Structure 1
Amino acid sequence: MACVATLISNPAAPSLDADAVERAQRALPSAQTPVWLNPAIAADIPFTGAAENTQTDAKRALTEYVRTALGGAPIDVLLQDASGRRKRLFLADMDSTMIGQECIDELADYIGVKREVAAITERAMRGEIEFAPALRERVALLKGLPASLADKVIAERIRLTPGARTLVATVRKNGVFTCLVTGGFTLFTQRVAAMIGFHENRANTLVVDAGGRLTGEVTEPIFGREAKLATLIELRRRLGIAPEATLVAGDGANDIAMIEAAGLGVAYHAKPNVAKAAAARVDHGDLTALLYAQGYRREEFVTEGAPQAGA
């Protein structure tokens, strides 16, 4: 069966050289001539894998074998079938995936409870506590904050993850439908989705009183793990897209279900439990790694548009 291994380094610190590619070739069965997608940053290595190597467990084992062959170099390794690499539907988490922060933690900082809220966030994202009660607990601590403070957080604290706009602009140019899905809040997602260029966004809604202040409550039902998966299935059916033609990226425990259900589900700089569950992960590259994983060359990237937040 025709397969491909994609090697990717961080564009901010290119480290993929011919020696690394050669070591990966030696670790792969029937490896062929590499194809450079971007010199020093990304390359494809076509190889012929047995049918069992396309199964998740075997794919993970072979991926780890290649990583070991690379000797701990800061290079991501993604293995997949050579056919059907370019996806038609893209769903992504927001906090710590498409942006570098957790919005609720930054909001909490304005009333001096960031440390407490961030600790709960971290435990929830690691899967140590249930997401919904953890969200309610954190939201309760925000009672009395003006909802307009979200604008200040976005302007002063939120920074898009490197490659975010390029990723979405490039796949959209190639006919991909995009949706930002998050256990965060519409106060942020509507703005962030517009900044990056997503078609749609789904999130939780904070309850705001007549005076424009947060009540400490969130509209039920909570948009979490199951809702993210349901959104993937809903959009797939609505658009007539096969499961294998879907791409998902996330970093937290409530992303696992949609990552596992996607044609290419990527744990992006993820918590250990998420990285363990995902068949593919990006630990070193930026979000353009998701383009290289689909076989896009650097010259195919769409980079025009407004600058990223903070740029």
Structure 2
Amino acid sequence: MLVATLVSAHGQALLDERLLKRIESTLPGILRVQRLDGEIAADLFAEAGDARKLEADLRRLLDEAAVDIVVQPEAMRRKSLFLADMDSTMIGQECIDELAAYVGLKEKVSGITERAMRGEIAFEPALRERVALLKGVPLAVVGEIIAERITLTPGGRELVRTMRANGAYTALVSGGFTVFTGPISTTIGFDEHRSNILLAEGGILSGEVADPILGKQAKLDALLELRARRSLAPERTLAIGDGANDLAMLGEAGLGVAFRAKPAVAAAADARLDHADLTALLYAQGYTGDEIVRD
């Protein structure tokens, strides 16, 4: 059996009774509808078939409504391992771009970042090129950037804390830097974080990053390692990201989700979130609104 989870855009409640009844009566194979959280989220259970076709049919019926759709097999939808990208996924910014802003180079660095995330240039040389431009920046500005410029993506804390409360293991895996992933992972509530190390001398960035660089392969390796360590079936894993360096991780996960993603990433992922906040990943696992651990 397939389950299609519909989730309204962040801050909206769009799944009224009329819409759900229209979908149920129009689409063949829909067996039942179950609300997860009022008019915010609902499950549609359907006979096993083509998940992509069901998603396309639902998008047509929704007629461009700001509703995200996650279609997957009902079996093993509840996940036991969650891996997440940080920049532009669990937070709203690219940390390296914010560091570059300190020395007036944000536009130049963000252009390189955008090309790397689209997969137009290789991640590792692009990272080295951007880090070289940061030579001379005091490490002390990181705390200021986190406090004043970094915003958490809505629903992220609830997502991680709810999964952990239900026995899942969570890891923040980033092509960014430990000086950011450390405090940010703690604030959100992850079990662990993995990222790159910025090299510094006397508290001043040297313009270099330590080897080996954590990129696409390292994110995939982290998923494989943590899955094996916890003796999990591949279907029990969940991953989310927005850039080209997330593709291997998303492809290996039981459910790989693209978040506000570049076109190539959105096309390759199992599902995409264009409108909803990160609690959509809880609804996709069958959690109800009452089961979400909120601040």
Shorter-chain TM-score tier = over 0.9
Q: Does 2:16 correspond to 1:24?
A: no
CA distance in 1, matches of 2:247, 2:18: 34
Secondary structure of the 1:15 match is coil
- Distance across 1 between alignment mates of 2:197 and 2:19: 47
Report the alpha carbon displacement of residue 28 of structure 1 after superposing the two structures with TM: 4.1
Instruction: Tell me if structure 1 keeps the 8 A contact 2:10–2:275.
Output: no
Q: Report the Cα distance in structure 1 between the residues aligned to 2:24 and 2:270, rounded to whole angstroms.
A: 20
The aligned runs of 1:25-40 (5 Å cut-off) are 25-26=24-25, 28-40=27-39
Q: What is aligned with 1:56? A: none
TM-score normalized with structure 1 length? 0.93
Q: Amino acid of the residue matched to residue 177 of structure 2?
A: F
Residue by residue over 1:126-184, the C-alpha shift from the partner in whole angstroms, topping out at 9 and shown as x without a partner, is: 11111111100100000000111111110000010000110001000000000000000
Deviation at 1:193, TM superposition (A): 0.4
Aligned to 2:8: 9
Question: What does residue 201 of structure 1 align with?
Answer: 193
Which residue is 1:309 aligned to? none
- Partners of 1:94 and 1:181 within 8 A in 2: yes
Q: CA deviation at 1:123?
A: 0.7
SS of equivalent residue, structure 1 residue 228: helix
Over aligned residues, Cα RMSD in angstroms?
Answer: 1.1
Matched-pair contact (CA < 8 Å) for 1:27–1:65: no
Aligned positions of 1:169-248 closer than 5 A: 169-209=161-201, 211-248=202-239
Tell me which amino acid in the other structure corresponds to 1:236.
R
Q: How does 1:56-71 map to 2 (within 5 A)?
A: 59-71=51-63
Aligned letter for 1:170?
Answer: T
Name whichever of 148-157 and 10-19 sits farther off.
10-19
Asked if structure 2 preserves the Cα contact closer than 8 Å seen for 1:3 and 1:82, the reply is: yes
- Structure 1 residue aligned with 2:249: 258
Q: Distance in 2 between matches of 1:228 and 1:183?
A: 8
1:240 alignment partner AA: S
CA distance in 2, matches of 1:268, 1:180: 15
Q: What is the match of residue 129 of structure 1?
A: 121
Aligned-residue identity in percent:
56
1:303 is the counterpart of 2:284: no
Equivalent positions of 1:96-115 (< 5 A) are 96-115=88-107
Normalising by the residue count of structure 2, what TM-score does the alignment of the two structures yield? 0.97
Which amino acid in structure 1 is aligned with residue 247 of structure 2?
A: I
- Counterpart-to-counterpart distance in 2, 1:30 and 1:8: 20
Q: Aligned to 2:115, what secondary structure does the other structure show?
A: helix
Q: Pick from 142, 148, 167 the counterpart of residue 159 of structure 2.
A: 167
Gaps of 5+ in 2: none
Whole-Å Cα distance in 1 between the matches of residues 197 and 38 of structure 2? 44
Q: Tell me, in whole angstroms, the C-alpha distance in 2 between the residues paired with 1:29 and 1:68.
A: 14
Choose which of 145, 152, 165 in structure 2 pairs with 1:153: 145
**Residues paired across the two proteins, number:** 295
2:276 corresponds to which residue?
A: 285
1:270 counterpart = 2:269: no
Which amino acid letter does the alignment assign opposite residue 9 of structure 2? N
Residues 80-134 of structure 1: CA distance to partner in whole angstroms, max 9, x if unpaired?
A: 1111110000000000100011001011101000000011111111111111111
Gaps of 5+ in 1: 54-58, 305-311
Whether the 8 Å CA contact 1:29–1:49 is kept in 2: the answer is no
Q: Over residues 44-92 of structure 1, what are the superposed CA-to-partner deviations in whole Å (9 max), with x where a residue is unaligned?
A: 0111123xx2xxxxx2233122111211111111111111110000000
**2:41 aligned partner:** 42
Instruction: Supply the distance in 2 between the matched residues of 1:184 and 1:166 (Cα, whole angstroms).
Output: 23
Shift, 1:27, TM fit = 5.5
Q: Give, as a single letter, the amino acid of the residue that structure 1 aligns with 2:32.
A: T
Question: How far apart, in 1, do the equivalents of 2:250 and 2:25 lie?
Answer: 30
Separation in structure 1 between the aligned mates of residue 43 and residue 249 of structure 2, nearest angstrom: 26
